[in-house]
Amino acid sequence: MAHVNLLPWRAARRKQREREFYMQLVAAFVVALGVLLLWIFWMDQRIDNQNERNTTLQTEIKQLDVRIAKIKDLETVRAHLLARKQIIEQLQADRSQMVHLFDELVKTIPTSARLTALKQNGQSMSLEGVSQSNASVAEYMRNVESSPWMGHTDLRKTENTHDATRMPYSFGLDVTLSRPKADETDAGKGTEQPAGASSSAAPAATVPAASGTAAKAMTAAPAKPAVAAPVTPAAKSVSAPAATGGTKP
């Protein structure tokens, strides 16, 4: 016998489908929420890592800034030390230069002139002095310009003071200082050495030459030493004239 279902099955089926749809919707929402939470957690981790890297970089940058400041201080100290070294070297060079300058001033000044004051300003020097005439000043200028430690000379003033002294003319000179080249000084040293050698060898060269027979006797004697033998009176009489430069009979 056939069974007839008179219940409202379509409404029940509709409710079941609605229930399944809502369940699927809730499941999709939960999955989306989980994915969102995972993405947020992952981004937070990346942000934290980047913040840690930024902090590390900032710390290293600060350390580098401190090192750069120290390097700048060391460069400043190095520059000051180099400046002091140059000043000391310049003072050492000027000290030796002043010794040579004084020597040159003493050598170049003529007997008819006298220096009264001098002043050095860097690579120039101002000289004040008195002389007997303008010719003495010109001679002094020529002597100064011929010196290897002094260069061009400018006459600043020369006047006759009409004093009753022996040197009535007063003059002023501006001298440019110079320094001889190293090769010139080395060449000077090199030329001094052969002079000493020649002077030491001079006595040997100036020894007077002996006579012909005496020179032969002097050169022949070391060549063949005489053999020990009894000396006879005849041998004495023969060798005596040869020693005195005579002829053999």
Report if residue 248 sits inside a domain.
no
Report if residue 119 sits inside a domain.
yes
Q: Could you list the residue range(s) of the whole structural domain that residue 75 is in? A: 54-189
Report if residue 15 sits inside a domain.
no
Report if residue 158 sits inside a domain.
yes
Contact 156, 141 (CB under 8 A): no
The predicted pLDDT at position 87 comes to 87
* Model pLDDT for residues 170-199, shown as the tens digit of each residue: 899 888 887 776 544 444 444 444 433 333
- pTM check: above 0.75: no
* Model pLDDT for residues 60-83, shown as the tens digit of each residue: 999 999 999 999 999 999 999 999
State the alpha helices, DSSP H only, in the chain.
Answer: 9-108, 134-145, 182-205, 212-223, 233-243
Report if residue 181 sits inside a domain.
yes
For 167, residues 6+ apart whose C-beta sits below 8 A from its C-beta are 112, 113, 114, 130, 131, 132
- Tally of domains in the chain: 1
Q: Is the pLDDT of residue 204 over 60?
A: no
pLDDT category at 1 given cuts 50, 70, 90 is: low
What CATH number is associated with residue 125?
3.30.1360.100
